[in-house]
Amino acid sequence: MMWYDGRWGWGGWLFMAVIMVVFWSLLIVGVVALIHYLTRTRRGYQPGPRPGEAAWGSRRAEDLLADRFARGEIDEDEYKRRLTVLREQR
């Protein structure tokens, strides 16, 4: 076998230690990111309306319209007109 006279010396050990720490850090961060991604998609799931409740879309539209009216973005005539249109489309 060839002997390299220890040319790497302490530098080789230090280099390998740093590489090992970087490798394990990347592996752990990757596993945590994967777990976060997989659990995040399940947390964002929203079930549909319960029996007897209004559909989410129509209820939300009326709520948004009421919020705009309360903030003064639209006047009373426009509020009533748009509310009528929303209720006719159900």
Do the Cβ atoms of 59 and 83 come closer than 8 Å?
Answer: no
Average pLDDT, the chain: 80
- Identify the DSSP state of 90: -
Do the Cβ atoms of 79 and 65 come closer than 8 Å?
Answer: yes
- Model pTM score: 0.40
Do the Cβ atoms of 76 and 69 come closer than 8 Å?
Answer: yes
Judged against a pLDDT cut of 90, whether residue 13 lies above it is answered with no
37-69: per-residue pLDDT in tens? 888 755 555 555 555 555 555 568 888 899 999
* pLDDT value of position 4: 60
Q: How far is CA 18 from the centre of its chain?
A: 33
* pLDDT value of position 69: 92
* pLDDT value of position 30: 97
